[in-house]
Structure 1
């Protein structure tokens, strides 16, 4: 949506799956700081990824199976040729977020890189850059459910 921030878009109600607060969980990687991601949101992301999702990479079934290294590898390949600002980017980076939120350092660094790529040329580049620096500073663990 032109003229809206990712934060606003992440909180926008959807017609499909969403968290209890109406957030779009597959946009959380770009819309929320690491300390704002809790176990309920990670579970909503997992549910969002478990539906009929298609990413054109033969390794995607392993990503859905929970393989952190494969999720990072798929995301690296994706970021080499695509900007992560569309639906497929949200899918790929959300799979990485699941692992980064459980403390995987490679996933956290890749989220930082993806946010830095996303920030290029955007009016909210400083917000995305700040979010990238938070992920790069070290892996975070999600807060327990409320």
Structure 2
């Protein structure tokens, strides 16, 4: 019996069953976030209850500065609640998918912390994938349509 782990062990895959878009930041690799996925994510952000931030609307429109401000405020809260963390990190994911280096760095950092805290190989793989995406730069033309 071969004890060598499969090279994709721990690697997140494209979900087979529907996964809520606001949880994609935890499970989907950069290469999965094509234009259609970006549009679906943006629609989910706009349809979600707004976070208590004057920057929330701009964050949903893929403004990296606004998204980072919202996410930092959520991450700085004493108790991190999924109903606030998922939308905030989804705004970061949208900007990261569009190639913003600061959002890619923040996403990789949060995933790396999640991997260490939970011994989660999938989160570790995602953090490394986003770090590679940051070095590679955006490899496709992407855009977010208005609503």
TM range (shorter): 0.7 to 0.9
Tell me the residue number matched to 1:132: 127
Q: How does 1:84-103 map to 2 (within 5 A)?
A: 86-103=82-99
More contact order relative to length (CA 8 Å, sep ≥ 6): 2
CA distance in 1, matches of 2:76, 2:29: 24
The gaps in structure 1 that reach 5 residues or longer are: 14-21
Tell me the residue number matched to 1:72: 68
Runs of 4+ in 1 over 3 A off after TM superposition: 10-13, 82-85, 139-144
Q: Which has the larger radius of gyration?
A: 2
Q: Residues 33-72 of structure 1, C-alpha deviation per residue, up to 9 Å, x if partnerless?
A: 1112211111111110111422122321222243211101
TM-score when normalising by structure 1: 0.73
1:23 is paired with a residue whose SS is coil
TM-score when normalising by structure 2: 0.72
Contact 2:42–2:61 (8 Å) recurs in 1: no
> Superposition RMSD on alpha carbons, in Å?
2.8
1:126/1:84 CA distance change after superposition, 3 Å: farther
Aligned length: 129
